[in-house]
Amino acid sequence: MAYESTPVRLEIRNKLVDAFLQVSAQGLITHKEIADLIGKKTTSPDAIKHSAFRVASDEHGIVFENIRGTGYRRIAAGDVHRVGTQTRHSIRGKVKRGSKKILAVLSTNSNSMTNGERIKAHAELGILGMIRMAAGRGAAAKAYREAERHEEKYQKPPTQEEISKAVLRALAGKAA
């Protein structure tokens, strides 16, 4: 397998971007179609594919979701909030696994750790817990309500900063 030059790789990426642009909202591009465009002898096909997805997203505002074993479905503009929901779900899983690892070490090897190391481990547990709470359904529901209230009051959607503050208020136990 020979390594392709950068111009060849960019040409393949651009073909993929063009193919992605042809997919209608809720339409599907299969793994086979992508593989055929990339070619069998191409090195690092995943890197080219992900580069094409980035270009499609950043320059053309279209995003896809993975359909396991099938391909990628283009997400309609009205459904783009699902990206956030899926990302939050993924983050919660990673946080849970990370917390379990830290707790496993703390519960079995705490005596072999210095006081400073234990403090850092407990601080990380607290931070991970906060992230997990912020990524949860309750915080999301409060953020949605805050966004709706802001829209009604100011006739425009809230900024990311305003929503972040609403989530922090929710985490602190105050009404959003």
Q: Which whole number is the average pLDDT over 10-34? A: 97
Confidence tier at 175 by pLDDT (50, 70, 90): very low
Could you tell me the pTM of the whole model?
0.75
Instruction: Give residue 113's domain range.
Output: 85-135
Residues 20 and 70 in one domain: yes
Report the range out of 27-31, 81-85, 131-135, 142-146 with the highest average pLDDT. 27-31
Taking a C-beta distance cutoff of 8 angstroms, is the pair 73, 26 a contact? yes
Report the domain count for the chain: 3
> Which pLDDT tens digit goes with each residue over 91-141?
999 999 999 999 999 999 989 999 999 999 999 999 999 999 999 888 888
Residues 22 and 70 in one domain: yes
